[in-house]
Structure 1
């Protein structure tokens, strides 16, 4: 499968216009503060970009970030602007053609962002075999990935390696494609469907359970959209399966519990995270307004108190009394469903 994917992204695709479906999407919903950064990215890097939006969580200044499946380097270069000169971004990709483009423009982007020296480095390697690269345990604040993990034949290895490389309190923040049911093997084996980020998609509940097995006890869904295919031939083959592009965050935090337990705790957001003066979005169910007391479960309390977000919140309560489970901690499909035949919108991972 590796060779098929390398051929597809290194030789078959020459620009995003060569994609056969809209599973990879546009930047139409990008916040305004990111658009000037993307405007500085080299044209060749942009042309060979096949991801889903831009994977850029909040509060990145000074962070050390790893991008899994970095391709032509577009996201790495954008993130290098967000982390600043005191931060650093590492990209890993297995495709020579993509790495050649990424490496050719390192000095260009350092100059564009006004840096004395580049703060980006690219490695050739497989995202399932990060232990073969010169990357130390507990060495990254954040790991990102942009619609790539579905292309991996060993997703468990990817998540285990990510957990190993993250610092305590770090997070994996990534977008990918997920399915409403398990994809049949005959579709998984189709190189076109696989290369288009469809048939390699995990069934969403298999992903949630896999993440927990790999050490990420409480996966948080940040946002999601249903995907439309807009290719009649491909849709005819996979139309019985719904696909979603979704962004998750997985925190590496000890003592996270398997479910949302209530200890009577709450937080108050100070409004101090850059570009987020009015509210902070932790995940799809935690839209936290500035200055308002916001009740949280024990896991959410830890995600804010034991990570880079700590200084931006006031924390209320203790662990002395357990009040039971938070209502609504269920196991139904977490995505917003729109029936394929009635949908006319594109999908986005961010």
Structure 2
């Protein structure tokens, strides 16, 4: 198994990065939260949860004996998510609140009190591609999962080798589709973190200008790169 000891980035660097990052609309994935199986009673973490809608859905799935936590580097979005929490668990028909939100950099979940092996499942979407250090994020997901836990990636992979300059320009634009890793790179990242090889489901082609809702387009990097982008749900398991 891979050694997952990686130095956490400086929080001042992370703060500057996330405050400057474009963070609206350039995402291929909505919160489908599919293919996790029966989540009843499970502890589930949502990375880059934004305004928390996915956590509300997870709250209903895990039920009163489970727990759903959403984390995001934006204090403003976490404040919005917290404002809906009381109403949301009641609408889910629960006897008590089983969800929470926290400000956290995805590269350093430990700093937000997320202990090693403390979650049964972790959900993340295409936003990982425009995080400060996607590889570090995958290692943190591995650390947060219990042995046998699952990482559900509802995002995008590129079919073909990526052009570094194109990826960096796309990241600067906040275009999470065009910034996506190649399929081979994604598989390498999860392997290096210690995961088993991913299983892919529900794949379909997506164009780089596609926004987070239908009929909304986003800026794209100017490039001669010739790659296709595939929206996928990948189920990635941590060894027991």
| TM-score calculated relative to the size of structure 2 | 0.81
Residue 142 of structure 1 deviates from its aligned partner by 0.6
Q: Report 1:110-259 matches (<5 A).
A: 110-190=89-169, 194-228=173-207, 229=209, 234=220, 237=223, 240-254=226-240
Residue 239 of structure 1 deviates from its aligned partner by 6.1
Q: Within 1, Cα distance between the matches of 2:58 and 2:38? A: 11
Partner-residue secondary structure (3-state), 1:89 = strand
Do the aligned partners of 1:151 and 1:194 also contact (CA within 8 Å) in 2? Answer: no
Deviation digits for residues 134-185 of structure 1 (CA, Å, limit 9, x no counterpart): 1121111111112221122322211211111111211111211211234333
Which structure has the higher relative contact order (CA within 8 Å, separation 6+)? 2
Change (3 A) 1:150 1:163: same
Q: Report 1:267-346 matches (<5 A).
A: none
Which sections of structure 2, spanning at least 5 residues, go unmatched? 1-12, 211-216
Specify the alignment match of 1:29 in structure 2.
none
| TM-score calculated relative to the size of structure 1 | 0.57
Specify the alignment match of 1:77 in structure 2.
56
Do the aligned partners of 2:173 and 2:220 also contact (CA within 8 Å) in 1? Answer: no
Residue 193 of structure 1 deviates from its aligned partner by 6.3
Do the aligned partners of 1:181 and 1:203 also contact (CA within 8 Å) in 2? Answer: yes
Q: Within 2, Cα distance between the matches of 1:148 and 1:64? A: 22
Do the aligned partners of 2:122 and 2:152 also contact (CA within 8 Å) in 1? Answer: yes
Residue 237 of structure 1 deviates from its aligned partner by 3.5
Please provide the CA RMSD for this pair. Answer: 2.5
Specify the alignment match of 1:8 in structure 2.
22
Q: Within 1, Cα distance between the matches of 2:219 and 2:94? A: 48
Total equivalences in the alignment: 218
Specify the alignment match of 1:331 in structure 2.
none
Residue 133 of structure 1 deviates from its aligned partner by 1.6
Partner-residue secondary structure (3-state), 2:59 = helix
Deviation digits for residues 8-39 of structure 1 (CA, Å, limit 9, x no counterpart): 22xxx4xxxxx3x6x52xxxxxxxxxxxxxxx
Specify the alignment match of 2:10 in structure 1.
none
Q: Within 2, Cα distance between the matches of 1:246 and 1:80? A: 23
Change (3 A) 1:59 1:147: same
Q: Within 2, Cα distance between the matches of 1:250 and 1:194? A: 28
Which protein has the larger Cα radius of gyration, Structure 1 or Structure 2? Answer: 1
